[in-house]
Amino acid sequence: MRLVGREKLVRFCAAHGEARKWIANWLSEAEAAAWASPQAIKIRYPSASFLAGNTVIFNVKGNAFRLEVVVAYRTGSSRLCGRARMPNMTDATRSDDAPGTKMDIRLVKSDRQYRQYLGEISRLVALDPAAKSAAGARLELLAKLVEDYEKLRFPIERPDAVQAIQFRMQQQGLKQKDLAELLGGKSRASEILSRKRRLTVPMIRTLSRRLHIPVDLLVR
C-alpha cells in the first residue's frame, strides 16, 4: 500500500514517545500490505473499526490513542492508498488551491507543493476511484510522488525483528507459548524474544508464512 501523511505521524511521535514503536511497526506492516477490503484489515487488526467514507480506526497501544486512515481500496488490484491522521490534531493537508484545481504534476520539491498534492490526494481518496480510471491513475501518481518525498522529509525508524514479532503477537492476542509452537520450543522462543538467539532462515520463513510478518523486517 501507499500511505501518505507521515508528517502527522512524526509530529505525533515527537509528542507521545510511548507510541513511537507502535507507529513504526504499524507503518512497516502497512507499507508491505496488500489489503483490498475492510475484511482483510480486520483479520490483521481485530480491534480496528470502520466508519463511513472508507475510514479505518486503529487502536494504538491498547486504545490509548487512535490512528485514523482513509483508504482507497480500488487503487491497484491489491494495494490501498490512504491518509493517516491523529484525532485532535491540526489538519496539515490543506491545500492553497481549491480541490480538483488543474495542476502540473511533477516531482515534489517543496513543502508548499507537498501540501498541495496532499489536498488533492485527500479529495481523490474519498472518491475511492477505480484503478483504471483517470482519477485512479492520478491518485496513484500523486501518492507515489508524495510517499517518496515523505520518506526523505519525515523518516520513521523501522522496527527490528523482535519488535516486529512482539507487535504481531499483540495484535493477534498471541502468547509466548504460541510463538514457541512456531519456533520449536519454549526456550527457543524465549531466547529469540530476549535477543539471545538470532532467527534462522527456517524460522523466518515460518514466521512470515504463519504470522504474515514482512520478511525484510525479520532479516534486520
Identify the CA nearest to 20 among candidates 31, 12, 28.
12
In eight-state DSSP terms, residue 63 is: T
Q: What percentage of the chain has pLDDT greater than the value 70?
A: 88
**49-63, 106-120, 172-186: the lowest-pLDDT one:** 49-63
86 band by pLDDT with thresholds 50, 70 and 90: low
Provide the 3-class DSSP secondary structure of residue 103: coil
Q: Is-contact 133 93, C-beta < 8 A? A: no
All three cell numbers of 99, joined, read 480541490
Burial class (CB in 10 A: 0-12, 13-18, 19+), 57: middle
Domains of the chain: 2-153 (no CATH), 161-218 (1.10.260.40)
> Helices then strands (H, E): number in the chain?
10, 5
Single-letter amino acid code for the residue at 212:
H
175 band by pLDDT with thresholds 50, 70 and 90: very high
28-80 pLDDT, tens digit per residue, is 999 888 888 999 999 999 999 999 888 999 998 888 888 999 888 888 433 34
116 band by pLDDT with thresholds 50, 70 and 90: very high
- What is the average pLDDT across 79-98? 44
Phi then psi dihedrals of residue 81, to 5 deg: -130, 120
Instruction: Categorise residue 194: left if φ over 0, alpha if ψ from -120 to 50, beta otherwise.
Output: alpha
Q: What percentage of the chain has pLDDT greater than the value 90?
A: 60
Identify the CA nearest to 168 among candidates 28, 68, 49.
28
